[in-house]
Structure 1
Amino acid sequence: MVKVIASNIRKGQVIEHDDKHLYVVLKAETFRPGKGTPTTTIDMRRISDGVKTVITTKTSDGLERAFVEEVSHNYLYKDGADYIFINNETYEQISLTETMIGDGIIFLQENAECHILMFDGKPITISLPARVTMAIMATEPVVKGQTASSSYKPATVESGARVMVPPHIDVGTRIVINTEDSSYVERAKD
C-alpha cells in the first residue's frame, strides 16, 4: 500500500479505508474555503459488497492507495447476471458482476476494450474507455426559436443511457460520449 494525500485522489483509484476494506473512488472533489481548512470529499464504493460511502477529510491527510494491476480485456457478452470479458493475450475469460462494473455499465459495448483492475490476482472493478461512440435512438424534436448555442435537448442512445445533445442532433446520428460524466462530446466522424 502507498500513502497518498487526499487532494491527489482521483476517480477510478482503489484505496484501503480505515475499516480495512478496499474501495473504488467514484468521485473526489476538493473544497477550498476562504477561511478554514481545505477539505476533500470522496464518494466511493466498497468492492466487497457494493455499498457506497462518502467521506470528508483534510486535503493534507494521507490515505492508503492499494496497488492494483490494470489488465486489458475485451467485453464479449452478458450471461445472466454476469458480464464476460476476454484477455486478448492469454484468451482467459473473466466474469464480472454488475456491482463490480458500477454506473458505467450503460456504456459497455460488445468488443469494447476495457481495463480490468486486479488486486491479488482477482478482478475488483473495471475502467471503461474515456469515450464511446453510440447511435441516437430517440430524441425530442427541436422547438422553434431554440437556437441558442447553450440549449441542449435530452436524447436516448442505443444502450438506454440519456445524454443531453445539441438541437441539430437527430435520431440515427452517431455521437461521441464522455463516459466519466455522460456528456456529449461531438458528432462521430465515422
Structure 2
Amino acid sequence: MKISGGEIRPGSVIEHNGGLWVAVKCNTVKPGKGGAFNQVEMKNLMDGTKLNERFRTVDTVEQVLLEKKDFQYLYEQGDALVFMDVESYEQLELPQEFVGDRARFLKDGMMVTVQLYGEKPIGIALPDQLVLEIVEADPVVKGQTAASSYKPAILENGVRILVPPFIATGERVLVDTNELTYLRRAD
C-alpha cells in the first residue's frame, strides 16, 4: 500500500532502498523556505542498521503490513529456540540471537507473537510483564528506608534487577520484560 512521506509514523514498516525498515522517530519539519518534510529515523528489520532519511509530502513509499501469528515456546535445541504455531501445529526454529537477551524470559509453554513478512520471521514479541521469583536479594540495611533506595536482586532466570528494600528472597514479583524493571509484588 502506497503512502506519502508525510504519513510515516513511528512503528510504520516501509520498503525503502530494497530493504524493510521500521520508523523509530518521526519529526515533521516546516522550514521558512521550501516545502515541509518528514525527518524519519529508521531501523532495518533484517540487519539492525539505522538510517536517517528525509521524505517530502510528495514522495511515496510502500507501507508493508506484517502478519502477526501466535506461537508457543516449546524448548531450546542447541543454538535454536523451537516454537509451535498454535493454529497449524507446525514448528518454527529461530536462532537465539534472533530473540536476543529476552530469550532468558522464555518458559515452556509461553505464548509469543511472531511478526512474519511472507513466511520469513522478522520480529518476536514476548509478554510485556511476567511473574518471576527472586532467588537472591541483599538483606535490608537499617536506615536505608529514608530515601527511595533500591537493592539488587537476581530472578529465577538469572536476570539482575533492582527491587525495593522490603522484597526478600523467595518472593514473586511482576517484572517488565522490555525495561527489565520491577513493577510490584505478584498476587
| TM-score by shorter chain over 0.5 | yes
| Superposed CA offset, 1:48-93 (max 9, x none) | xxx4333345698887542211101110110001101112222111
CA distance in 2, matches of 1:94, 1:17: 28
CA drift of 1:123 comes to 1.9
> Which 10-residue stretch deviates more, 73-82 or 133-142?
133-142
CA distance in 2, matches of 1:8, 1:135: 38
CA distance in 2, matches of 1:164, 1:64: 43
**Aligned in 2, Cα 1:67/1:29: closer, same or farther, shift over 3 Å?**
closer
CA distance in 2, matches of 1:166, 1:174: 13
Matches within 5 A, 1:137-156: 137-148=135-146, 150-156=148-154
Give the 3-state SS of the residue equivalent to 1:95 in structure 2. Answer: strand
| Superposed CA offset, 1:139-174 (max 9, x none) | 222222111463111212112212111111111111
Whether 2:185 is the aligned partner of 1:187: answer yes
Q: What's the TM-score, normalizing by structure 2?
A: 0.77
The 8 Å contact of residues 84 and 94 in structure 1, kept in 2 or not, is answered as: yes
Matches within 5 A, 1:10-159: 10=11, 14-18=13-17, 20-23=18-21, 28=24, 41-42=41-42, 44=43, 46-47=45-46, 51-57=47-53, 65-148=63-146, 150-159=148-157
CA distance in 2, matches of 1:154, 1:60: 48
The 8 Å contact of residues 9 and 26 in structure 2, kept in 1 or not, is answered as: no
CA distance in 1, matches of 2:96, 2:150: 30
Q: What's the TM-score, normalizing by structure 1?
A: 0.75
Unaligned runs of 5+ in 2: none
Give the 3-state SS of the residue equivalent to 2:98 in structure 1. Answer: helix
Give the 3-state SS of the residue equivalent to 1:8 in structure 2. Answer: coil
CA drift of 1:8 comes to 2.7
CA drift of 1:122 comes to 2.2
Quick one: percent identity of the two aligned structures?
A: 33
CA distance in 2, matches of 1:73, 1:60: 39
The 8 Å contact of residues 153 and 163 in structure 2, kept in 1 or not, is answered as: yes
What one-letter code is carried by the residue in structure 2 that aligns with 1:175? V
The 8 Å contact of residues 136 and 155 in structure 1, kept in 2 or not, is answered as: yes
Aligned residues: 179
The 8 Å contact of residues 7 and 60 in structure 1, kept in 2 or not, is answered as: no
- CA RMSD in angstroms comes to 3.2
What one-letter code is carried by the residue in structure 2 that aligns with 1:91? Y
